[in-house]
């Protein structure tokens, strides 16, 4: 229990009111005339800091420990899995037969591109000024002659030599009694200008190269179709 000087000291030091065990209320501050030395000389010991049980007001009591509100955990109830019927279960000692999935309508359809699609996708070649390609010049002239002799001078030697070679081939065909074209079909072309003849031969050569490319594309398309039919799923 605090003595009166001790209670006066605590009331003067604390800015809020305090109650003692006797219920006395102290809110007075020390007067200016009172000396601080007397207050410190009568300072209480640490044992006097505690109040008796039951004498401390309600607002000085220790608050109760925090107890959270009990919340029940909500569990999501899932419906039970459907029971498998007894008829659907395989019999004991017999393995269940797994049926092969039937191919859909889209998988049955084979996408076959056009055989000439790749040829049509190519851009048309730019028309060259020189439609005839004198590739056989390399077998007649040496590399040095091709680099030193001009093209007009080479043509005067190349074309007559080529015509003489063709005449020799025709003579050999007549000696063997074999000719690919009848002479009656060649009558309209007698006396034809050489430039016109060269243009016609160049056109025939171009048509032959295009026909060869089409034949290769048809062979490729047939091979792809054959492999697709081999891998085509059966309906069974």
Residue by residue, pLDDT tens for the chain (236 residues) are 556 666 666 555 555 555 554 544 444 444 444 444 444 445 555 455 555 555 555 555 555 555 555 555 555 566 665 555 544 555 555 555 556 556 565 555 667 777 777 777 666 655 555 545 567 777 788 889 888 988 888 888 888 888 898 899 989 998 998 888 888 888 888 888 878 887 888 888 888 988 998 999 899 888 888 888 888 766 65
Domain membership flag for residue 16: yes
- Three-class secondary structure of residue 25 per DSSP: strand
Same domain, 213 and 143: yes
**118 and 53 in a common domain:** no
Q: Which residues pair with 119 in a beta bridge?
A: none
**Inter-residue contact 165 to 172 (CB < 8 Å):** no
Virtual torsion, Cα 62, 68, 69, 75, nearest 10 deg: -170
Q: What is the pLDDT of residue 107?
A: 53
**Do 110 and 199 share a domain, yes or no?**
yes
pTM score above 0.75 = no
Q: From 137, 158, 156, 155, select the one nearest 146 (Cα to Cα).
A: 137
State the pLDDT at residue 63: 55
Q: Is residue 159 part of a domain?
A: yes
Domain housing 126? 105-230
- Number of domains forming the structure of the chain: 2
Q: Are residues 41 and 114 in the same domain?
A: no
Please give the Cα distance from 96 to 14 (Å, whole number): 90
């Amino acid at each position: 229990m605090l003595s009166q000087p001790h209670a006066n000291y605590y009331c003067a030091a604390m800015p809020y009111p305090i109650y003692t065990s006797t219920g006395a209320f102290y809110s007075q501050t020390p007067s200016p005339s009172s000396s601080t030395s007397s207050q410190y000389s009568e300072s209480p010991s640490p044992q006097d800091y505690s109040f008796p049980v039951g004498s401390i007001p309600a607002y000085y009591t220790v608050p109760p420990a925090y107890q959270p509100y009990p919340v029940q955990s909500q569990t999501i109830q899932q419906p039970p899995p459907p029971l498998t019927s007894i008829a659907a279960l395989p019999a004991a000692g017999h393995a269940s037969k797994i049926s092969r999935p039937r191919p859909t309508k889209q998988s049955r359809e084979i996408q076959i591109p056009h055989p000439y699609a790749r040829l049509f996708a190519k851009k048309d070649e730019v028309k060259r000024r020189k439609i005839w390609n004198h590739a056989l010049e390399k077998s007649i002239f040496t590399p040095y002659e091709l680099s030193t002799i001009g093209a007009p001078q080479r043509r005067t030697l190349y074309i007559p030599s080529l015509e003489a070679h063709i005449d020799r081939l025709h003579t050999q065909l007549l000696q063997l009694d074999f000719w690919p074209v009848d002479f009656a079909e060649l009558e309209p072309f007698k006396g034809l200008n050489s430039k016109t003849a060269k243009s016609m031969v160049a056109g025939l050569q171009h048509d032959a190269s295009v026909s060869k490319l089409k034949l290769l594309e048809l062979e490729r398309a047939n091979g792809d179709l054959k492999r697709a039919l081999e891998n085509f799923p059966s309906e069974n």
